[in-house]
Amino acid sequence: MTKINLAIALSLLTFFGVFLHPFSTVQAINLTSAKDTLQSSRLSVHARVDSTGTTTDSSNVKILTTEGADSAGDTANTLSTANLRPGDTLKIGSSADGYYTIIGIFDATNFTVSPVLVAGDTDNTDPIYFESRPQHVITFSTATAVPNGFFQILLPADTATPNDGDADDQGYDFNTTVDVTAADVGAYDFDTATADGLVATASGGTGCTAPANYHCFEAHYSGLGGIGQAITITIGNTNGATTPIAPATTPSHTEGTADTYSVLIKNFAALANPNTDTPIDFSTGKVAHIEAVRVTATVDPTISFSIAGVAAAQTRCGVSTSVTTTAVAVPFGTMALNTFKNAAHLLTVSTNGTAGYVVTASENDQLGKDGGTTPNILDSLGNGGAMTESASAEWTTTTINGFGFSLENVDAATVPFQYTTATGNCTGTFCARQFADLQATETVQTIMSSTTVADAEATNVCYRLGVGATQAAGDYENQIIYTATGRF
């Protein structure tokens, strides 16, 4: 056995899980810079169903707040939802369909899942498992040049069910099959070609009986070995498929305080029996597992909608605006006969609604003299007489009088038409529609929309008005109603 001054060893050896570890005094502790870097320190979950709040064909699951055996006889110590989060996949109960995804955490003992619970998964004390499967990256520096030997990593295992595929409360569950990889470096050429080159054995399996209650992972190499060589051995993979299952909470666990476990690293000579022979070099330390911290925040549903005026002499919908609008008025002013006047508004909407928004438009009535119901400046029918509140038509002939509008999309997700839309009765010069007339019980129409969140999406609404010689003198007006609705 190689000897080393203990004071020097204490200054060199730190084993990083979460805590500085105590060293064994039974064997030489001389593998330096040893650490097990976990992909995640998150604990697994082993809880029990409380049937008072868990029923078949529902989505709610309630956790029992006392420790005890689950319906399969295994000890369950998780008493709250503290270590769960939306998106986790859980195994609940004993049915063949007992895999569920968390969709929400309601409180300390209740959460919801999808799909709904089936019979066999809602009985009192039925098990609830979440399996954390972090990859282990073991690194250390050698102390002795051991030719053609092997390294052994030992992870703690449950005494009762160390390899049943469920999270245990005393150590790692082996999880049936585990990958072991090691990187060739210096005078260490790791054997990847033979079955006994990189070996993973569950606790109690062949060659893995001492010390008791540890899983064994071996990496055999050829070469002379070396002193001070950095070695990296990886246990499991990053997707968890062939990775040990991290421990669930222990009986004495306190939320927010880590449960710690010893991890052993040994360097054996060639042909040594790891169950009975003394390693050439050795190190031990602690790794720690703790609940994941669930960070929560509430974002209130919001929608903002604005109408902005457009100055005169601006090009909108392919024409120059005749007048300046404000956010609340379109002042066409005095009209010349058989001459178009054009005006515009810019509509802008933002929302965090996950299903987006809809902006609709309508008019209280057609333009009425002194705001009355008659006489009216009628809504235009367009060049060919086919324009309605839902059908676009070309409107470029100045002797075709009336009131209407077109659209010029800036960056809205969807608009029903634009002034350039050449289809049906539109050639794409100035396609227009009527506003839906509420007095005539016409259906309100969508003028812009989105099916997802929106950040300042905008569309220009372009108004057009023309009157003929038979229009009675007077002041005419109506009201345009824009409604923005968020979809959450």
The token duo for 214 is: 């540890």
Residues 94 and 144 in one domain: no
Give bridge partners of residue 342 from the DSSP assignment: 464
- Report whether pLDDT(15) > 60: no
Give the least confident one: 97-106, 139-148, 385-394, 459-468. Answer: 97-106
Task: State the pLDDT at residue 296.
Answer: 73
When pLDDT is averaged across residues 94-99 and rounded to a whole number, the result is 80
- Report whether pLDDT(403) > 80: yes
Q: What residue numbers bound the domain in which 380 lies?
A: 303-486
Residues 34 and 71 in one domain: no
- Report whether pLDDT(21) > 90: no
Residues 96 and 197 in one domain: no
Task: State the pLDDT at residue 286.
Answer: 85
When pLDDT is averaged across residues 2-26 and rounded to a whole number, the result is 31
What is the SS3 assignment for the chain? CCCCCHHHHHHHCCCECCCCCCCCCCCCCCCEEEEEEECCCECCEEEEECHHHCCCCCCEEEECCCCEECCCCCEECCCCCCCCCCCCEEEECCCCCCEEEEEEECCCCEEEEECCCCCCCCCCCCEEEECCCCCEEEEEECCCCCCCCEEEEEEEECCCCCCCCCCCCCCEECCCCCCEEECCECCEEECCCCCCCEEEECCCCCCCCCCCCEEEEEEEEECCCCCCCEEEEEECCCCCCCCCECCCCCCCCCCCCCEEEEEEEEEECCCCCCCCCCCCEEEEEEEEEECCCCCCCCCCCCEEEEEEECCCCCEECCEECCCCCECCECCCCCCCECCCEEEEEEEEEEECCCCCEEEEEEECCCEEECCCCCCEECECCCCCCCCCCCCCEECCCCCCCEEEEEEEECCCCECCCCCCCCCCECCCCCEEECCCECCCCCCCEEEEEECCCEEEEEEEEEEEEEECCCCCCCCEECCEEEEEEECC
Rounded to two decimals, what is the model's pTM?
0.68
Domain boundary among 289, 321, 336: 289
Residues 137 and 211 in one domain: yes
The structural domain count of the chain equals 3
| Share above pLDDT 70 across residues of the chain, in percent, rounded to a whole number | 94
Domain CATH number, residue 258: 2.60.40
- Report whether pLDDT(471) > 90: yes
Confidence of residue 152 (pLDDT cuts 50, 70, 90): very high
Residues 315 and 402 in one domain: yes
Residues 6+ apart with CB under 8 A from 477: 367, 368, 370, 371
Residues 101 and 191 in one domain: no
- Report whether pLDDT(257) > 50: yes
Task: State the pLDDT at residue 29.
Answer: 60
| Share above pLDDT 90 across residues of the chain, in percent, rounded to a whole number | 88
Task: State the pLDDT at residue 27.
Answer: 45
Residues 352 and 234 in one domain: no
Between 95 and 403, name the one with better pLDDT: 403
pLDDT in tens, 184-210: 999 999 999 998 999 999 999 999 999
Confidence of residue 7 (pLDDT cuts 50, 70, 90): very low
Quick check: is 295 in a domain? no
Residues 6+ apart with CB under 8 A from 353: 301, 303, 453, 486, 487, 488
- Report whether pLDDT(5) > 80: no
Residues 6+ apart with CB under 8 A from 73: none
Integer angstrom CA distances of residue 154 from 9, 90, 174, 240: 21, 28, 11, 19
Q: How far apart are CA 350 and CA 458, in angstroms?
A: 9
Task: State the pLDDT at residue 20.
Answer: 32
Give bridge partners of residue 156 from the DSSP assignment: 214
Residues 193 and 95 in one domain: no
Quick check: is 324 in a domain? yes
- Report whether pLDDT(181) > 90: yes
Quick check: is 250 in a domain? yes
Q: How far apart are CA 64 and CA 70, in angstroms?
A: 10
Domain boundary among 130, 145, 173: 130
Residues 17 and 62 in one domain: no
Task: State the pLDDT at residue 487.
Answer: 94
Quick check: is 171 in a domain? yes
- Report whether pLDDT(26) > 80: no
Task: State the pLDDT at residue 17.
Answer: 34
Integer angstrom CA distances of residue 108 from 62, 90, 122, 135: 9, 17, 18, 29
Residues 198 and 100 in one domain: no
Tell me the pLDDT of the chain averaged across its residues: 92
Give bridge partners of residue 38 from the DSSP assignment: 136
Task: State the pLDDT at residue 24.
Answer: 32
Q: How far apart are CA 305 and CA 307, in angstroms?
A: 7
Task: State the pLDDT at residue 1.
Answer: 31
When pLDDT is averaged across residues 96-101 and rounded to a whole number, the result is 86
- Report whether pLDDT(35) > 70: yes
pLDDT in tens, 325-377: 999 999 999 999 999 999 999 999 999 999 999 999 999 999 999 988 889 99
Residues 152 and 125 in one domain: no
Task: State the pLDDT at residue 25.
Answer: 32
Quick check: is 294 in a domain? no
Residues 263 and 331 in one domain: no
Quick check: is 224 in a domain? yes
Give the least confident one: 20-34, 59-73, 110-124, 247-261. Answer: 20-34
Task: State the pLDDT at residue 297.
Answer: 80
